Amino acid sequence: MPEPLIEKYRERLSLEPGDPVVTMNEGSTPLIEAPVISERVGASVYLKLEGVNPTGSFKDRGMTVAVSRAKGAGAEAIICASTGNTAASCAAYAARAGLRGVVIVPEGRIAIGKLAQALIHGARVIALRGNFDQALEIVRELADRHPVELVNSVNPYRIEGQKTAAFEVCDELGPPDALAIPVGNAGNITAWWRGFQEYEVAPVLYGFQAEGAAPLVLGRPVAEPETIASAIRIGNPARWEEAMDAVTASRGRIAAVSDEQILDAYHLLASREGVFCEPASAASVAGILAHGLPAPEDREPPRSVVCVLTGHGLKDPDTALTKAPSVIGCEADTEAVEREVFKDD
């Protein structure tokens, strides 16, 4: 049986001794080589498949720790604002822990798979006529006023859990020269850096935002963020300063990628590497393809790079279907099928 991350890294997490372990065996996700992308960027590129977590995204690493602590502290309800993946994870772990789950999402702006997850797990799903940043502001206020535990990445236990992804990479591969990661609310890049620091290693961090939702690149909040990558449609990241401090300390950079670059990388990953991630995740690969692997002056260019593929492609089938070729209709007749199968040969 794979060991849940709370057991594997317990002494490095800040749970209380009596806390129950609410787990579905998160973590221990595959780290695979990406030969096509490696060839294009001139370095060994590895993909960390975070979509293989129980609810299909990296959020589960943080949620198992946050919900274990919340349960240990006697909470009866958990709440979050979400662009979709936190909602799905929050709903699933609430169900597993026997807690009430409440999620606030921007109306009409989350991928359909994530909505289905939140609903089937029995969370109360509130569709806000507003964006993620407004939803986060509202849940922060509600968590101040009511005895509900906030499980967004402003919750310190979320970061604790998510840092284990960096431990896994170092344990398996050794520290990579660089890490490429999509950035939305900036919790995950903060968590990976903390993980690396605790292992006393310092890969160069490349954080990538979508062009229409790139507050960290512009240096100011974006009032109406826009991008096809709905997971990172965020205009005012909660962990802004920590993320910038991490990038600066690693001597890396934050850069933007266009929706077109994101979709090209998404398609390349699926069609050439066999890996189906969601569009936001492909920003990590789009970023190194578009911007290369810039190194600090006194360092060699990175020879090994880990791209974090944060969520599974099945989360967002709508985007896949708009990007993929059409199906071919055919009569139930062997010759007719034969013609279609061998048409271009």
| Binding string, residues 204-243; x marks residues near ligand AN7 by CB under 6 A | ---------------------------xx-----------
Hey, which residues between 288 and 317 contact ligand AN7 (CB under 6 A)? 310-311
In angstroms, the CA 44 to CA 295 distance is 15
Q: Is 57 in the site for ligand AN7 (CB under 6 A)?
A: yes
Among 26, 273, 278, 316, binds ligand AN7 (CB under 6 A): 278
Among 187, 212, 215, 287, binds ligand AN7 (CB under 6 A): 187
Q: Is 85 in the site for ligand AN7 (CB under 6 A)?
A: yes
Q: Is 259 in the site for ligand AN7 (CB under 6 A)?
A: no
**DSSP per residue over 165-226, as a string?**
HHHHHHHHH---SEEEEE-SSSHHHHHHHHHHHHTT--PEEEEEEEGGG-HHHHTS--SS--
Count of residues engaged in binding ligand AN7, rule: CB under 6 A? 21
Among 82, 117, 155, 319, binds ligand AN7 (CB under 6 A): 82
Among 68, 131, 153, 236, binds ligand AN7 (CB under 6 A): 153
Pick 86 or 164: Cβ nearer ligand AN7? 86
Using a 10 angstrom Cβ sphere, with 0-12 exposed, 13-18 middle and 19 or more buried, the burial of residue 214 is buried
Helix or strand holding residue 309 (H, E): strand 304-309
Binding piece for ligand AN7, criterion CB under 6 A, among 30-38, 180-188, 248-256, 261-269: 180-188
Q: What are phi and psi of 256, to 5 degrees?
A: -105, 150
Pick 48 or 69: Cβ nearer ligand AN7? 48
Which tokens hold the place of 227? 């991008």
Among 186, 275, 285, 307, binds ligand AN7 (CB under 6 A): 186
Hey, which residues between 89 and 128 contact ligand AN7 (CB under 6 A)? none
Pick 4 or 187: Cβ nearer ligand AN7? 187
Instruction: Give bridge partners of residue 317 from the DSSP assignment.
Output: none
Among 47, 118, 183, 288, binds ligand AN7 (CB under 6 A): 183
Q: Is 275 in the site for ligand AN7 (CB under 6 A)?
A: no
Q: Which of 341, 59, 5 is nearest to 188 (CA)?
A: 59
**DSSP per residue over 43-106, as a string?**
SEEEEEEGGGSTTSBTHHHHHHHHHHHHHHTT--EEEEE-SSHHHHHHHHHHHHHT-EEEEEEE
Q: What are phi and psi of 297, to 5 degrees?
A: -55, -35
Residues that bind ligand AN7 (CB under 6 A): 57, 82-86, 153, 182-188, 231-232, 278, 280-281, 310-311
